[in-house]
Structure 1
Amino acid sequence: MVLKKSLIVTLTSVGLIFGVSSLNAEAGSSKNPISSFITVPFKTTFDKGASNGSGTILNVMPIVEGNVGDWNLFNRAVIPLARVDGAIVGPNNPSPEQGGSASGLGDINYSLLFSPVNYDTFIWGVGPTITMPSASNDQLGSGKWSTGIAGMILTDTGWGNILVRGRQIWSFTGDSERRDVSQMVIEPIITYNMGDGWHLFTDMIISANWEADSNNRWIVPLGGGFGRSFKIGNQIVLSRLEAYYNVEKPEGAPDYSVSFTIQFVFPTY
């Protein structure tokens, strides 16, 4: 099995699989000449159906790949910019403060994954993650510093990819009047390559707020979408459109969401 290690791991560390084999073909090589990437996805999500109104979230998720000895290092940040009608519960913010409409910066999450350069069937990575109380409004963040562990595991199926990635964080300091944070996020991603850069996929972001009661703990979406990888000049671009319905959700979470992602990949030779 020939896997394009740097490309696949970099893209999947962000949770975005966009027809890897087609992208390699567009890059013009059967071998991967690229040793590292800087990639910047912009994901806009429209949340609808929450009891407190609607929300729009732009997640900017840059990732920079490095290498130390026998390990690949993937530095990834999730920087949310949001506009909400009220306190809307979601994976970005499990315990928002109650109030009216708000716009601005949310809590920023940073993860560092260590992944072995040499692997057999599965690519895996694990490392620390931290969430900072950077929100410009209490409704857009938890008010807590939280840290924990993040990880991912990926396999190439021949027809596509299967990836599972996730994290568990716990708050350790911050606003004493805000609820503590204990949150798990699991993100199973299945991608089916159709050729010419096109692919079908499902990318369900499942989250659990362990500080909530059992009736308001889980967000479980069901859905999927399609996307394509292509080039504009020498610039590698990846895009996708997806929609999900929350079959399980706490009070204050949206009924459904629609997302559009555009991602720019900058290879470093």
Structure 2
Amino acid sequence: MNQRQNYHCALSGLVLLSFSTAAQEQGASAAQANNPLANMTALNFQNYYIGDVTESDEDANQFWIRYAKPVSVAETNWIVRASLPVNTYPIPPSGSHTTGIGDFNIFAAYLIDTGNPAVSFGVGPQLTAPTATKDEVGSEKWSAGIANVLFNASSAVFQYGYLLTWQESFAGEDARQDVNVGAFQPFAFYQLGGGTYLRAAPIWVYNFEDDSYSVPLGIGAGQVIKKGNTVYNVFVEPQFSVADDGAGYPDWQVFLGFNMQFLD
């Protein structure tokens, strides 16, 4: 498993979901629209277009379909989220590309009562299954690990938090590189009013197998719209690497998203 696949294995553990008369309701929806632990069903379509892959001078793309749903188990509350990517990666040294379904990821976050309804905190296990349709677009490894997320919406104007994940392979194709990767995603959202907001949500990745890493920064904009019982959240966020070491990471990329959240 090369750095590119390790990077996107890290991405598989990450997600920004979308919450929600008039101005007050729209403001509440916007303030919670990127809460990873929002207590409602969500369907997200997200895309990373990577304009330049490190040490290859080629582009790549990863499209994610993600579904999240709150569940209650023995009087405990959880968010369960499943993700499946469609990957397009360059094949060195030819420079040609291959496309296929990547590895399936699922995680469950136990929601801990913080005593403040505006502050969400969750932790739980994650599992990645080797479902890739082609060798080049997946790890061929079973991996498991943990995810921890914090989201603070105490302010209607500025929300922030982080998502920390780690996973390690425990089974799979012996000939492929083992997975042992951690990722930290700080995120911040500044509401401009009317559902429009500024955003920053880069993903910093460290590969414990070979000490390679990627540290991008980005800033973008989004719009939250509530129609009936559905909250729509669309955004774009260009991101640029400020530090990296190793092949297969993004030198620059554009993160696009169309998220839907369904209110009861």
TM-score by length of 1: 0.79
Are the counterparts in 1 of residues 90 and 96 from structure 2 also a CA contact under 8 Å?
yes
Report the more deviating stretch, 244-253 or 173-182: 244-253
Correspondence 1:83 to 2:78? no
Is contact 1:144–1:175 with CA below 8 Å preserved after alignment? Answer: yes
Q: Identify which of 214, 223, 228 aligns with 1:228.
A: 223
Cα deviations by residue, 1:164-198 (Å, 9 ceiling, x for unpaired): 11211010000000011100011111111111101
Question: What residue in structure 2 maps to residue 14 of structure 1?
Answer: 15
Q: Which string of whole-angstrom CA distances, capped at 9 and with x for unpartnered residues, describes residues 221-267 of structure 1?
A: 01110101003455321110100001222223231001210011112
2:100 to 65, 81, 104: 104
Structure 1 residue aligned with 2:129: 132
Return the letter of the residue paired with 2:251. D
Determine if contact 1:65/1:73 at 8 Å carries over to the other structure: yes
In the alignment, which residue of structure 1 is the partner of 2:162?
164
- In the TM superposition, 1:240-259 aligns within 5 A as 240-249=235-244, 250-259=246-255
Aligned twin of 2:43: 40
SS at the partner of 1:127?
A: strand
- Matched residues in 2 for 1:99 and 1:170: separation? 30
RMSD across aligned positions (CA) = 2.7
- Does residue 263 of structure 1 match 2:259? yes
TM-score (norm 2): 0.81
Equivalent residue number for residue 5 of structure 1: none
Which residue type is aligned with residue 160 of structure 1? F
1:123, 1:153 within 8 Å by CA — same for their partners in 2? yes
Identify the range of structure 1 (137-146 vs 121-130) with the bigger mean alpha-carbon deviation: 121-130
SS at match of 1:229: strand
Task: Tell me, in whole angstroms, the C-alpha distance in 1 between the residues paired with 2:23 and 2:98.
Answer: 39
CA distance in 1, matches of 2:18, 2:228: 21
Report how far residue 72 of structure 1 moved: 2.0
Give the 5 Å matches for 1:76-225. 76-86=81-91, 100-117=96-113, 119-120=115-116, 122-158=119-155, 159-212=157-210, 214=211, 217-225=212-220
Q: Could you tell me whether the CA contact under 8 Å between 1:52 and 1:86 is conserved in 2?
A: no
Structure 1 partner of 2:65: 60
| Aligned-pair identity (%) | 26
The answer to whether the 8 A contact 2:27-2:195 is kept is no
Gaps of 5+ in 2: 1-13, 33-37
Aligned-partner Cα distance in 2 for 1:70–1:124: 17
Q: Is the 8 A contact 2:68 2:81 kept in 1?
A: yes
Asked if the contact 2:27–2:193 (Cα under 8 Å) also holds between the matched residues in 1, the reply is no
Contact 1:15 1:189 in 2 (8 A): no
Deviation at 1:43, TM superposition (A): 0.6
Residue in structure 1 matched with residue 7 of structure 2 by the alignment: none
Is residue 18–residue 231 contact of structure 2 (8 Å, CA) maintained in 1? Answer: no
Q: Does 1:49 align with 2:47?
A: no
Task: State the secondary structure of the residue aligned to 2:131.
Answer: coil
The equivalent residue for 1:26 is 26
Query: Do 1:23 and 1:230's aligned partners in 2 also have CA atoms closer than 8 Å?
Result: no
Question: 1: CA distance between counterparts of 2:196 and 2:86?
Answer: 29
